Amino acid sequence: GAGVSQTPSNKVTEKGKYVELRCDPISGHTALYWYRQSLGQGPEFLIYFQGTGAADDSGLPNDRFFAVRPEGSVSTLKIQRTERGDSAVYLCASSFGSDADEQYFGPGTRLTVT
Amino acid sequence: LAKTTQPISMDSYEGQEVNITCSHNNIATNDYITWYQQFPSQGPRFIIQGYKTKVTNEVASLFIPADRKSSTLSLPRVSLSDTAVYYCLVGGAMNYGGSQGNLIFGKGTKLSVKP
């Protein structure tokens, strides 16, 4: 079946602009996660949804970052007033449950802020 | 959440068995041990998960000693396509008062398999 998909695959934007990154999880998966990965580092947790609600947003670096999942399926990560330090690969993952269940990752969106 | 320590890199040759050890001295009672694999330009992929003793699947084995303060991922007869970064993670079991569902990745172990 279809895996986790993310769009766009690449996004180049200018400093100060607003961007939206989309994640389509595996159908039926109730849990959805956003991670950010910088070059040479492991993925860093940003936010976790259980259904439509954000169960844990402790990883969001500041209030410029926001994510929604209005219908409990597709999620959008929104970044306002982008900074060059936001450049990274943004990964989305989904899982059937929320505890130790296997997480399925998408290919990521590479964001470059110039 | 328990912190993990693993070697930054390892080299191997095709056909050899590779063992990657991870230390997690502060593992909680309800924590699971999970290993993920990541190829360049791809998201991480689940390899194996265990709680104690030994777990084996079609791609790897996971050895966990009784004190659970470390674990060893064993890849039998590696091939060039096993060249990747391998992450050891500890957590899970939120429903039982353990760590949160989000995964905490370290820098991982970069495995290079040579012909």
Q: pLDDT tens digit string along A65-98?
A: 999 999 999 999 999 999 999 999 999 999 987 6
Q: Kindly report the number of other CB atoms within 10 A of residue A27's CB atom.
A: 9
Answer whether A56 touches B (CB < 8 Å). yes
Strand partners, B84: B111
Distance from CA of A76 to the nearest CA of B (A): 18
Task: Output the six-digit token pair for B72.
Answer: 């060893």
Q: Could you tell me whether strands B32-38 and A10-13 are parallel, antiparallel, or unpaired per DSSP bridges?
A: unpaired
User: pLDDT at position B97, please?
Assistant: 35
CB within 8 Å: B107 and A42: yes
User: pLDDT at position B92, please?
Assistant: 64
User: pLDDT at position A47, please?
Assistant: 93
pLDDT in tens, chain B (115 residues): 568 899 999 999 999 999 999 999 988 888 889 999 999 989 999 999 999 999 999 999 999 999 999 999 999 999 999 999 999 988 764 333 334 556 778 889 999 999 9
Q: Which residue of A has its CA nearest to B48?
A: A102
Beta strands in B51-103 (DSSP E): 53-56, 61-64, 70-75, 84-91
Contacts of B103 in chain A (CB under 8 A): 33, 35, 43, 45, 93, 103
Q: Which long-range contacts (CB under 8 A, 24 or more apart) does B29-32 make?
A: B29/B98, B30/B92, B30/B93, B30/B96, B30/B97, B30/B98, B30/B99, B31/B2, B31/B90, B31/B91, B31/B92, B31/B93, B31/B98, B31/B99, B32/A100, B32/B90, B32/B91, B32/B92, B32/B93
User: pLDDT at position A80, please?
Assistant: 98
Three-class SS of residue A104?
A: strand
Q: Kindly report the number of other CB atoms within 10 A of residue A68's CB atom.
A: 15
Largest CA distance in chain B: 46
User: pLDDT at position A97, please?
Assistant: 75
User: pLDDT at position B101, please?
Assistant: 54
CA pair distance A54, A32, nearest whole angstrom: 9
User: pLDDT at position B1, please?
Assistant: 53
| One-letter amino acid of A35 | Y
- Residue A100: which of B44, B93, B105 has the nearest Cβ? B93
Q: Are A109 and A7 in contact (CB under 8 A)?
A: yes
- Residue B101: which of A44, A48, A59 has the nearest Cβ? A48
User: pLDDT at position A1, please?
Assistant: 57
All residue ranges of chain A with pLDDT < 50 are: none
Q: Are A103 and A49 in contact (CB under 8 A)?
A: no
CA pair distance A56, A52, nearest whole angstrom: 12
Three-class SS of residue B10?
A: strand
